[in-house]
Amino acid sequence: MTLVPAGAPSVAALLAVPGALDAATGGYAYDRALLAHLPAQGVALSHLALPGGFPMAGPDVIAQSVSRLVESDPSALLIVDGLALGALPAEPLRPLAPRLVGLIHHPLALEAGLDLKAQAHLRASERAVLALCRAVITTSAETARILAADYEVPPARTTVAEPGLTPAPRSPASGDPPRLLCVGTVIPRKAYPTLIEALSGLRDLPWTLTIVGSLDMDVGEAAHLRSVLAASGLAERVRLAGALDRDALDAAYAEADLFVHPSLYEGYGMVLAEALQRGLPLVCTTGGAAAQTVPDGAGVKVPPGDAPALRTALGGLIADRAARLDLAARAFAAGATFPTWDDTAARVAGVLRAISQKVAA
């Protein structure tokens, strides 16, 4: 465990998160980890609940969220999850600027399925509110790069604090025929229909697929996926498991032989790190930060949205157990290099202590 530096002052902070804190997404897992691990770093961190509905929240939710932020403890630093922050109006938050910290998992305008008007609105809104932030914490170097290039956030105000990992056992990944696993909420950005299209060309090979991820966050996309699956004729080989608790998800990792992640874009891709840590051979896309989260050689990477390329990558590994085992060894070696949650919390705490000292001065 990373220890608090001797003589480091205690820092009071609030973490404002929209909706249910126990939501099964990487962003919420990151938020929960900060709440659990920052106290050991000398940060008295409390949860400030904001209403759900972000990023496309209505006027009432926006107004209620602004009120909760403005009325929060003025002696505490205010960390606001980007899912809400980027959709909030900047002007009423201006008085909070000296103690405002943005936590950006990925820019909201890059979410798949948005129309051009919604993209433009979110891009402008997020740019304006990020200009107010005393500091910005991102979960990947790629997100930090995008914030600097497209959102005018000075690199000097940005700190990359990659998600940590909790110790987990290595998965055998030795089954044949292979059991494929995909983990991620069923939303357009995860591109599950592209995965089904790729697997439709591999129906002559032996495999099964389990998709773990909430089917309730975007019911329209879930219905679309079910429709695509039914039309493909692969329904008996693909299981939509829905969201799983931690124990059930750990069991799914342990039973898998090949991990696949067809996402169009990732701000980091925590499930990729988890799969590598467990030594699962992996096929993913290069969308967003995923290309950096999975080191070269630790997985097979293909362009996002490219079903033929995904089919070729999967087909080669499904048909060749020896190739899967070789890739599993390289994945496991790469997985050992990721930070722990204590490392992540220490990095965030350093940012908060620096701000607290400036505010006090």
Check whether residue 122 and residue 200 sit in a common domain. Answer: no
| H or E stretch at 144 | helix 141-150
Residue 3 lies in a domain: no
Do 347 and 268 lie in one domain? The reply is no
SS3 (DSSP) at 309: helix
In a domain, 246, yes or no: yes
Secondary structure of residue 300 in the 3-state scheme: strand
The answer for residues whose C-beta is within 8 angstroms of residue 104's C-beta and 6 or more apart is 82, 85, 86, 130, 136, 137, 138, 139, 143, 147, 267
Q: Do 226 and 142 share a structural domain?
A: no
Angle between helices 219-232 and 192-200 (to 10 degrees): 0
Does a structural domain hold residue 73? yes
Q: By the 8 A CB rule, do 234 and 196 touch?
A: yes
Q: Is-contact 280 331, C-beta < 8 A?
A: yes
Structure tokens at 301: 């990477």
- Provide the domain limits for residue 231: 179-335
Same domain, 351 and 217: no
What digits encode the pLDDT tens for the residues 221-258? 999 999 999 999 999 999 999 999 999 999 999 999 99
Give the count of domains, the chain: 2
Same domain, 156 and 276: no
For residue 260, the model assigns a pLDDT of: 98
Are 116 and 76 contained in the same domain? Answer: yes
| Helices vs. strands in the chain: H and E counts, helices first | 13, 12
pLDDT at 111 (0 to 100): 85
Q: Do 347 and 281 belong together in one domain?
A: no
The pLDDT, as a whole number, for residue 1 is: 46
227 sits in which H/E element: helix 219-232
Is residue 172 in some structural domain? no
Whether residues 51 and 191 fall in one domain? no
Please give the single-letter amino acid code of residue 259. Answer: F
Residue 5 lies in a domain: no
- DSSP state, residue 340: B
Q: Low-confidence residues of the chain, pLDDT below 70?
A: 1-9, 360-361
Say if residue 42 is in the same domain as residue 156. yes
Burial of 333 (0-12, 13-18, 19+ CB in 10 A): middle
Give a yes or no: residue 174 inside a domain: no
200 and 327 in one domain?
A: yes
Write the CATH number for 229: 3.40.50.2000
**Separation of alpha carbons 136 and 156, rounded Å:** 9
Residue 64 and residue 131 share a domain: yes
Cis, peptide link before residue 303, omega less than 30° from 0: no
Domain assignment present for residue 173? The answer is no
Examine the domain organization and report whether 149 and 61 are in the same domain: yes
Closest C-alpha among 167, 165, 166, 181 to residue 255: 181
On whether residue 1 sits in a domain, the answer given is no
